[in-house]
Amino acid sequence: MLKIAVLVSGGGTNLQAIIDGIENGSITNTKIETVISNKKDVYALERAKNHGIKSSVVSPKDFDTREAFNKALLEEIDHAQVDLIVLAGFLVIIPEILIKSYRNKIINIHPSLIPAFCGAGYYGLKVHEAVLSRGVKLTGATVHFVDEGTDTGPIILQKAVEVNQEDTPEVLQRRVMEEAEWHILPQAIDLIANHKLEIKENRVTIL
């Protein structure tokens, strides 16, 4: 049984996609052990509560230094004894101590087709604003392992989504979620839970 921690910062739609996947059987051999938010009073915490999932808040605002926050976040995850950390819209830079402790055990969902529109400054609506201002015809989402870089870890899955001429950033964000993110994040977790992928030289092979 793959035990996961889901890290969130907002409404938790990707968390809901994982919960739904486990409940409908499209994600197998997996249990959400804990949900951790860096913000209080976000709806993702309500989603966890509604499904009887343990949750906690570890906020940088509650600590005097970033180092103290990083240490507390690592301790909270260690305490949960999980096999995989899933960043589901977690808008905090992952500290190096966490990456080192959980090498190739942290995955992230990013709302573009990496290496396009990724890296420093590309998050949330900013990604979709950049896609529209550049005039590209295809965007999408990527699930990747997390390393010390920003959006540079090995890519697990990608799914393309068409950009429409009349799209606003908000409309495009919703379509990327519905058509890509909510599909490939559960799929990636299921692959990991069932030992269906391996990493060699920064490349993921699906077995």
- 70: how many CB neighbours lie within 10 A of its CB? 20
Which residue among 51, 110, 183, 195 is the active-site one? Answer: 110
Evaluate the CA torsion angle 74, 80, 81, 87 in order and state its sign.
negative
The answer to whether 80 touches 34, Cβ cutoff 8 Å, is yes
Cα 38 from Cα 46, distance rounded (Å): 14
Annotated catalytic residue 195: no
Q: What are the helix (H) ranges across the chain?
A: 13-24, 43-50, 66-80, 96-101, 125-134, 169-176, 182-193
Sequence-distant (6+) residues with CB within 8 A of 30 are: 1, 2, 3, 4, 22, 189, 190, 193
Task: Indicate which residues carry an active-site annotation.
Answer: 110
